[in-house]
């Protein structure tokens, strides 16, 4: 068993370190799991694939889980995915039940995390086996569907689609690669740029810029107003936690974990949607939802089970189709590429050891997250006091390392980080959607290859509609997602009119 | 009849120009979407731009110009100086170490609200220790390329 040789103390140590660092990042308001993965990415350059992935998955699980700490103690979600934890967590903390609220969230988190790991283990290989049969036409349509779904779930459909197409356009800058069957010519740039952009913008400096530097700039413009102890609640004293709080919560746990896993599979939807959806379903279906929003543990259970279930769900499309499920897995795709691994339908079959190690790492990360947070929650809660004037300069410093080392020392990648950091800030101001932009950027080059190869083979645009029943089914899904988005847009426009 | 209609969708891609085929389609879609956005939002565009100008100039809103533009300026100088110094100390990571110490110290000073002697000591220690640890762990232990 080759796999056992990878289960070294280093492997477990890296998961533990990743989980702990992730929890710390998640616990600091404004810093997300994505940022944790982006900032710690350079550390994986020194490791092999298995150890690198162990660290990154620990960061991912820890980052999502840590978000509940400020949600309960400060009424500020540490990560967007813990938005609904504030609804009941903070009122509980105000009543002196802060530790009880946090431990309820921790237990729900491990349930959600393990549930989604099981779904990932059983479902991803099936999806990958199915996707192996796809031709270039179906592969192009899958990418089109992913971009449509992401854009349709944005607050503004038009801006969502524009952002996704802009991401695709940016990915096309550079050479039409001969390795991929292209003619080796450059495009979308002036001649003087060829020296720098012959291979286009590197993925990771772009991601690190948008998720690292942009966050710092957005906070800098506010003058770090959230960097205070206002509203902070102590964990000392109050009602103790007992597992009795989960009596009658099994349905809630399973439903919320299922919702989180499913939402995670949809590309780019994000943890906040999973949390809100699970919370609203619990409110609709529970026998007694009268206390929800006033400090009911069931609200924390639904929110935390769903957002941790997102982790395994988001890895399903990544590992079976090569399509990232959220912004954090978008960075993971970069980490895989760095190690010379192409994720997609062939990944699991060709890398069985790595596949099993990913599942093991995910399970261990959840167990360690539980152990670290459950027994050390009082110490972890102190993290929210670390001031941003100490943290943010260090984050920019680590962003530089990540960008510079990615191609073994190219200063242009560092400038790319700055360029896209500022671009991310501007995008935020003018209402561009970051997630479709990033997913478009990641999938753009593949979309081009599949599109052009399909037309070179068949010589007619109608092939995208008539190639196979799967192609037709994918068009139906694209039409449904667009119709759903238009319906949501119309409903959202009417609602303010009715309210006014 | 059906084949006549289908022939309208025929396409042949010249290999020499194939690098422009997909980018042209994407560029056209982008231009059309931009036009639609501008047409549907033109009423908001001019007031929005004027408001943004007033905010950036510090005449309206709560925009912390000092910290925002200070971050941009310090980051730009940090990156530029790192490039310059990496030619002086090639392949050692010293450029990263020196520039990071100065950068972390300067940016912390920019971000901190009210200075006290205790805070200055913390900021100085943070600026000296954190980049040194990062340099040692990444460049010396893990042999990661640093500027």
* pLDDT tens digits for range A106-152: 999 999 999 999 999 999 998 888 888 888 899 899 889 888 887 77
B83 touches chain A (CB under 8 A): yes
- B52 and B69 assigned to the same domain: no
- B26 and B86 assigned to the same domain: no
- B25 and B87 assigned to the same domain: no
Residue ranges of domains in chain A: 2-494
Residue A162: pLDDT band (50, 70, 90) is very high
Of B15, B79, B144, the CB nearest to A405: B144
- B50 and B77 assigned to the same domain: no
Given an 8 Å threshold on Cβ–Cβ distance, is A451 in contact with B22?
yes
- B133 and B92 assigned to the same domain: yes
- B36 and B83 assigned to the same domain: no
- B137 and B71 assigned to the same domain: yes
Residue A363: pLDDT band (50, 70, 90) is very high
Last residue in a domain, options B6, B25, B56: B56
Highest-pLDDT range among A436-440, B48-52, B140-144: A436-440
pLDDT of residue A496: 56
Residue A32, pLDDT above cutoff 80? no
What's the mean pLDDT in A12-38?
A: 86
What share of chain A has pLDDT > 90, as a percent? 28
How far apart CA A224 and CA B114 sit, in angstroms, is 13
Q: Which residues are CB-contacts of A273 (< 8 A; sequence separation ≥ 6)? A: A153, A263
Residue pLDDT, tens place only, A252-310: 999 999 999 988 887 666 667 788 888 888 887 777 777 888 888 889 999 999 989 98
How far apart CA A412 and CA A191 sit, in angstroms, is 17
Cα separation values, A322 from A53, A78, A325, A442, B137, Å: 16, 29, 9, 10, 32
Q: Look up residue B17 and give its DSSP letter.
A: G
**How is residue A496 written in tokens?**
């303010």
| DSSP element (H, E) containing B99 | helix B94-111
pLDDT of residue B34: 94
How far apart CA B20 and CA A130 sit, in angstroms, is 32
**How close A440 comes to chain B (CA, Å)?**
11
Of B13, B104, B142, the CB nearest to A393: B104
Residue A500, pLDDT above cutoff 60? no
Residue A59, pLDDT above cutoff 60? yes
- B79 and B49 assigned to the same domain: no
Residue pLDDT, tens place only, A427-443: 988 888 887 898 889 88
On whether the CB atoms of residues A168 and A151 are closer than 8 A, the answer is no
- B51 and B70 assigned to the same domain: no
What's the mean pLDDT in A21-35?
A: 81
Does any domain span residue B8?
Answer: no
How far apart CA A137 and CA A442 sit, in angstroms, is 18
What's the pTM? 0.81
pLDDT of residue B99: 96
Residue A233: pLDDT band (50, 70, 90) is low
On whether the CB atoms of residues A394 and B130 are closer than 8 A, the answer is yes
**How close B103 comes to chain A (CA, Å)?**
7
Range(s) of the domain holding residue B43: 16-56
- B71 and B25 assigned to the same domain: no
Q: Which residues are CB-contacts of A253 (< 8 A; sequence separation ≥ 6)? A: A108, A111, A112, A246, A301, A305
Model ipTM over 0.85? yes
On whether the CB atoms of residues A41 and A81 are closer than 8 A, the answer is no
Which chain B positions have a beta carbon within 8 Å of A158's beta carbon? 33, 36-37, 40
What's the mean pLDDT in A186-199?
A: 88
On whether the CB atoms of residues A218 and B73 are closer than 8 A, the answer is no
Given an 8 Å threshold on Cβ–Cβ distance, is A182 in contact with B82?
no
Domain count, chain B: 2
On whether the CB atoms of residues A164 and A150 are closer than 8 A, the answer is yes
Residue B60, pLDDT above cutoff 50? yes
What's the mean pLDDT in A366-389?
A: 86
Given an 8 Å threshold on Cβ–Cβ distance, is A400 in contact with B126?
no
- B81 and B120 assigned to the same domain: yes
| DSSP element (H, E) containing A491 | helix A469-499
pLDDT of residue A244: 83
Residue B96: pLDDT band (50, 70, 90) is very high
Does any domain span residue B96?
Answer: yes
Given an 8 Å threshold on Cβ–Cβ distance, is B6 in contact with A220?
no
B103 touches chain A (CB under 8 A): yes
What's the mean pLDDT in B106-129?
A: 92
**How is residue A45 written in tokens?**
């350059």
Q: Which of A492, A352, A453 has its CA nearest to residue A134?
A: A453
Residue pLDDT, tens place only, B66-80: 999 999 999 999 999
Name the average pLDDT for chain A.
85
């Amino acid at each position: 068993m080759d796999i056992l040789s990878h289960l070294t103390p280093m492997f477990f140590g890296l998961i533990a370190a990743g989980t702990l660092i992730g929890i710390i990042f998640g616990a600091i308001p404004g810093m997300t799991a994505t940022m944790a993965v982006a900032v710690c990415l350079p550390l994986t350059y020194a490791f092999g694939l298995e150890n690198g992935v162990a660290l990154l998955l620990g960061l991912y699980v820890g980052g999502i889980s840590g978000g509940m700490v400020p949600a309960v103690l400060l009424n500020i979600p540490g990560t967007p995915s813990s938005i609904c934890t504030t609804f009941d967590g903070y009122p509980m903390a105000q009543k002196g039940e802060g530790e009880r609220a946090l431990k309820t969230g921790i237990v729900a988190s491990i349930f959600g995390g393990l549930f989604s790991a099981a779904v990932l283990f059983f479902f991803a290989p099936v999806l990958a086996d199915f996707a192996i049969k796809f031709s270039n036409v179906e592969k192009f349509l899958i990418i089109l569907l992913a971009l449509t779904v992401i854009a349709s779930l944005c607050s503004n459909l038009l801006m969502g689609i524009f952002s996704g197409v802009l991401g695709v356009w940016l990915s096309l800058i550079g050479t039409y690669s001969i390795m991929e069957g292209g003619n080796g010519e450059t495009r979308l740039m002036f001649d003087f740029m060829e020296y720098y952009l012959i291979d286009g913008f590197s993925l990771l400096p772009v991601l690190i810029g948008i998720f690292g530097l942009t966050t710092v700039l957005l906070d800098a413009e506010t003058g770090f107003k959230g960097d205070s102890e206002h509203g902070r609640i102590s964990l000392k004293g109050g009602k103790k936690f007992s597992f009795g709080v989960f009596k009658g919560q099994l349905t809630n746990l399973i439903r919320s974990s299922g919702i989180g896993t499913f939402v995670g599979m949809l590309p780019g939807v994000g943890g906040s949607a999973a949390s809100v959806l699970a919370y609203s379903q619990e409110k609709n279906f529970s026998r007694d939802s009268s206390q929800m929003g006033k400090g009911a543990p069931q609200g924390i259970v639904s929110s935390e089970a769903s957002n941790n279930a997102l982790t395994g769900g988001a890895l399903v499309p990544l590992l079976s189709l090569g399509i990232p499920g959220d912004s954090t897995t978008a960075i993971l795709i970069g980490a895989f590429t760095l190690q010379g691994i192409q994720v997609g339908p062939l990944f699991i079959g060709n890398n069985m050891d790595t596949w099993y190690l990913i599942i093991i790492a995910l399970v261990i990360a959840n167990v360690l997250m539980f152990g670290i947070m459950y027994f050390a929650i009082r110490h972890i809660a102190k993290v929210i006091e670390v001031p941003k004037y100490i943290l943010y300069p260090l984050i920019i410093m680590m962003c530089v390392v990540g960008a510079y080392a990615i191609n073994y020392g190219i200063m242009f990648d560092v400038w790319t980080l700055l360029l896209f950091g500022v671009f991310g800030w501007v995008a935020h101001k003018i209402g561009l959607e970051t997630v479709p932009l990033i997913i478009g950027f990641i999938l753009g080059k593949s979309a081009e290859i599949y599109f052009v190869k399909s037309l070179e083979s068949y010589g007619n645009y109608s092939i995208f509609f008539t190639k196979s029943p799967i192609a037709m089914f994918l068009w139906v899904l694209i039409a449904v997602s667009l119709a759903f988005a238009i319906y949501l847009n119309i409903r959202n426009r009417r609602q303010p009119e009715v309210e006014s | 009849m059906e084949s006549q209609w289908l022939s309208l969708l025929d396409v042949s891609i010249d290999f020499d120009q194939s690098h422009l085929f997909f980018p042209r389609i994407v560029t056209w879609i982008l231009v059309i979407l931009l036009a639609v956005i501008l047409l549907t939002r033109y009423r908001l565009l001019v007031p929005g731009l004027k408001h943004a100008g007033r905010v950036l100039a510090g005449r309206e809103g709560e925009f912390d110009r000092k910290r925002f533009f200070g971050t941009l300026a310090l980051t730009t100088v940090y990156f530029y100086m790192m490039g310059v110094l990496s030619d002086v100390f090639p392949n050692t990571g010293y450029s990263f170490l020196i520039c990071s110490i100065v950068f972390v110290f300067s940016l912390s000073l920019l971000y901190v609200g009210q200075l006290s002697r205790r805070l200055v000591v913390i900021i100085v220690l943070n600026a000296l220790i954190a980049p040194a640890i990062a340099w040692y762990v990444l460049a010396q232990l893990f042999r990661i390329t640093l500027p």
